[in-house]
Amino acid sequence: MATAAGRDLRILVADDDAMVREAYRAFFARTDGFELVGEATDGDEAFDAYVRLRPDCVLMDLQMPGASGVRGIHRITQAFPDACCVALTTFGGQDYVVAALRAGASGYLLKDAGADALRAAIRQAVAGEMPLSPSVRQAVVASVRDGSGPMPGEEAPHLTAREAEVLSLVAGLSNAQIAARLFLSEGAVKQHLTRIGHKLGVTSRTQIVVRAIQVGLLDPNELDVGD
């Protein structure tokens, strides 16, 4: 299925393993709605390729010789705040998760997530939602609970009643589900999330959740973080 704009989603893959890149080539070649437009073998190559190709989504391995995937995500999102980078790795440990999300990743999946999960995650990330494997989402919440995540430098900003409603649902529901729950359009939900992110000083949906927990706008014990 093509995008709403009538074209395939353009994907850049960064992974140092030639066999993994070949697997991605084969996967996207037989998957409708996606086009693999470039490859990189480390974080700096990924940045250069992003500048050249401007893909819709980057699938970024984290552990690569030379420049790491975390460095690549950071460079890309610093230069292009609207860039969509999904960390896709075999590592689900809390340190890896937090480092990738602090760098600006739009989502984080384990490589064993499966084809359906990968397709869904890319679409979610491009749509501004938050693809996280259940175990990864648990690590995000744990990182805030135990204080290992980044500490905010400011007090909690004031949110409108509607923004607070949207924020309370963002960790567990998609934009479409939030819209249905609150009787809003998806566009209105996106606008609220944009305003919330601006007030919190972050851009991605995942970072909104992390920062909101840190400043006391969300209670991590009340989040649905999956199985």
Residues 97 and 164 occupy one common structural domain? no
Q: For residue 160, what pLDDT is reported? A: 95
pLDDT at 4 over 50: no
Nearest-5° Cα angle at 129, 35 to 57: 25
Q: Dump pLDDT digits (tens) for 78-104.
A: 899 889 999 887 766 667 777 887 788
pLDDT at 148 over 60: no
Is 170 within a domain?
yes
H-assigned helices in 68-131: 69-79, 94-103, 115-126
Domain range enclosing 81: 9-143
pTM equals 0.70
The dihedral built from the CA positions of residue 225, 223, 57 and 80, taken in this order, carries a sign that is: negative
Q: What is the CATH number of the domain that holds 214?
A: 1.10.10.10
172 DSSP 8-state letter = T
Q: For residue 159, what pLDDT is reported? A: 94
152 pLDDT tier (thresholds 50, 70, 90):
very low
Q: For residue 147, what pLDDT is reported? A: 56
Q: For residue 89, what pLDDT is reported? A: 78
Residues 126 and 25 occupy one common structural domain? yes
Residues 188 and 128 occupy one common structural domain? no
Q: For residue 223, what pLDDT is reported? A: 58
Nearest-5° Cα angle at 173, 167 to 177: 105
% of the chain at pLDDT higher than 90: 42
% of the chain at pLDDT higher than 70: 81
3-class DSSP state for residue 13?
strand
Q: Dump pLDDT digits (tens) for 164-202.
A: 999 988 877 778 889 999 999 989 998 999 999 899 888
Residue 158 CA to residue 3 CA, distance in Å, equals 35
Strand partners of residue 86: 59, 107
pLDDT at 132 over 90: no
Is 226 within a domain?
no
Is 227 within a domain?
no
What's the structural domain count of the chain? 2
Domain boundary among 143, 174, 190: 143
